[in-house]
Structure formats: C-alpha cells, structure tokens
C-alpha cells in the first residue's frame, strides 16, 4: 500500500509537500471527529474541556482557543528541546479551525440524550483514531500534546507514561472545568476509550506507530531549500 513507502520517504521537496497535504487533509477530517465528540453533548474530552472553557470565558471561537492552547504547548515542546516536525504546526491550526467550520455549517445538532450522545462520541473517537494513523504515517511530526507527553515522561524518569498522561489530562480537565468547560460521562469515555480505540484502528490497518521515524523541521527545510546540484 502507499503508506510505508511514499509517506515515510520524505527525501524530496515533492514528497514533503505531498505529505504535508496528506497531514492537512487528515487533520481536517480529524477535526470533524473532534466536532462530533463535542456535539455528543455529554461532556467533552479532557483537552476540549480546556478549549471550550477558554472559549466560553474569553468569548472567543473554539478554534481560536484550540490554536492558542496548541501553540502554547508547541512552545513548551520547543523549550524542552523535543523533536519538532513541520506537521505539528499544521496540527495546531487545522483541527481547531475545521471544528469552527463545522460549527458554522451546523452539520450535526447537539445530542439531547445519552442514547444518541454516546454513539456519536464513539464515532467521533473512531474518526479521530483513523485520521491519526494517516497523519502520523506522513512522518512529519506527532501532535504537540503527544510530543509534550513523551518529553515530560523522559524527564520524569520514575513515572510511567500512563501516570504522566493521567496527570496531563487531569490538569487540562480541571482547569477547563474551572473556566466553564463541559465535564461529563463523555469526558470519561474519551479519557479511557481513546487509547483502546486508537490501538484497534492501528491494528486494523497493520500500522505500527513506533516504526515511524518522524522528520524534524530542520531536516525538512534542509531538503526543501537545498541548492540544486550541477
């Protein structure tokens, strides 16, 4: 299949640009998954509790709040000298703004019961899992939050990545709740269901995220702006 060869070989400007396009499209569709988890109306995912809390308290669009949080985390990633890829900047912008677009269109109305909200939440998480696969397969960097999780785990040597993840998600949820973000059963489903759903999605397409060697931003620029040899 195409993934495994073309996506992982960011050895030319054409390949990098193609993978940037793949990452952008994947993240746009990922934003639809995020939108569904919000429209489920049973409590948002931990990071979206924070985004929606900021949106509500500051009177700004969800996407603007999401971008502010994402680029803040990206700044921390850079400060911690974590590996930064060009797709991380795309991630920080596209997902939030795609959610704003779907909100504006009003494609799906907020669910009014658990009977409809829970399935919509799960469908959203499934969409997010499969688009995470295509985004990661482009090998141009993981998301800012995932990068932060790995960077913090490396520094907190005595703590497992699971413990660090719980700490991050709990902090995002608590701060978001203080700002008025929606916390509910959907928050729990997202916090504990995202991992297994993503694992199932990756296994179904025979994708091993650990095998991907993400290209750093400096390496991408070096290839894209290299002087042609004579």
Contact between residue 5 and residue 139 where contact means Cβ atoms under 8 Å apart: no
- The structure tokens listed for 202 are 């990756």
CB atoms within 10 A of CB 3: 18
Q: Which residue has the tokens 């919509």?
A: 120
pTM metric for this prediction: 0.90
Residue-level pLDDT at 110: 96
Please list the rounded mean pLDDT of every run of 10 residues in the chain (230 residues). 53 91 95 97 96 97 96 93 91 95 95 96 96 90 88 83 88 96 96 90 86 87 78
Residue-level pLDDT at 227: 72
- Give the CB-side neighbour count of residue 48, counting CA atoms within 13 A: 29
Q: Does residue 6 lie in a domain region?
A: no
What total of structural domains would you count in the chain?
1
Residue-level pLDDT at 162: 80
Contact between residue 89 and residue 111 where contact means Cβ atoms under 8 Å apart: no
Q: Which residue has the tokens 């060869």?
A: 5
- The structure tokens listed for 135 are 């985004």
DSSP tally for the chain: helices H, then strands E? 9, 0
3-state secondary structure of 160: coil
- The structure tokens listed for 181 are 């973000």
Residue-level pLDDT at 41: 97
Structural domain boundaries enclosing 178: 13-223
Q: Is the dihedral of CA 162, 163, 164, 165 positive or negative?
A: positive
Q: Does residue 230 lie in a domain region?
A: no
Q: Does residue 4 lie in a domain region?
A: no
Contact between residue 38 and residue 44 where contact means Cβ atoms under 8 Å apart: yes
Contact between residue 32 and residue 108 where contact means Cβ atoms under 8 Å apart: no
Q: Does residue 186 lie in a domain region?
A: yes
Residue-level pLDDT at 82: 87
3-state secondary structure of 20: helix
- Give tens-digit pLDDT for 205-220: 988 877 788 889 999 9
Q: Does residue 178 lie in a domain region?
A: yes
d(CA 225, CA 222): 6
3-state secondary structure of 65: helix
d(CA 92, CA 95): 7
Q: Does residue 5 lie in a domain region?
A: no
- With a CB cutoff of 8 Å and minimum separation 6, the contacts of 121 are 36, 37, 40, 42, 186, 189, 190
Q: Does residue 8 lie in a domain region?
A: no
Q: Does residue 229 lie in a domain region?
A: no
Q: Which residue has the tokens 């709040």?
A: 65
CB atoms within 10 A of CB 229: 4
């Amino acid at each position: 299949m195409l993934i495994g060869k073309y996506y992982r070989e960011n050895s030319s400007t054409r390949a990098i640009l193609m993978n940037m396009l793949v990452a952008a499209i994947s993240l746009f569709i990922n934003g639809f998954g995020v939108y569904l988890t919000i429209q489920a109306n049973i409590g948002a995912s931990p990071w979206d509790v924070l985004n929606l809390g900021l949106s509500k308290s500051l009177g700004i669009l969800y996407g603007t709040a999401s971008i502010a949080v994402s680029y803040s985390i990206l700044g921390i990633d850079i400060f911690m000298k974590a590996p930064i890829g060009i797709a991380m900047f795309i991630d920080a912008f596209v997902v939030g703004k795609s959610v704003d677009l779907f909100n504006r269109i009003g494609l799906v109305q907020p669910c009014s019961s658990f009977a409809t909200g829970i399935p919509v939440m799960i469908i959203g998480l499934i969409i997010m899992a499969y688009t995470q696969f295509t985004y990661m397969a482009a090998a141009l960097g993981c998301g800012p939050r995932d990068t932060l999780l790995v960077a913090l785990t490396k520094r907190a040597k005595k703590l497992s990545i699971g413990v660090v993840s719980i700490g991050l998600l709990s902090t995002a949820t608590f701060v978001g709740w203080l700002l008025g973000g929606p916390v509910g059963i959907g928050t729990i489903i997202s916090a504990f269901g995202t991992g297994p759903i993503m694992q199932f999605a990756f296994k179904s397409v025979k994708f091993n995220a650990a095998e991907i060697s993400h290209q750093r931003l400096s390496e991408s620029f070096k290839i894209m702006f290299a002087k042609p040899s004579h």
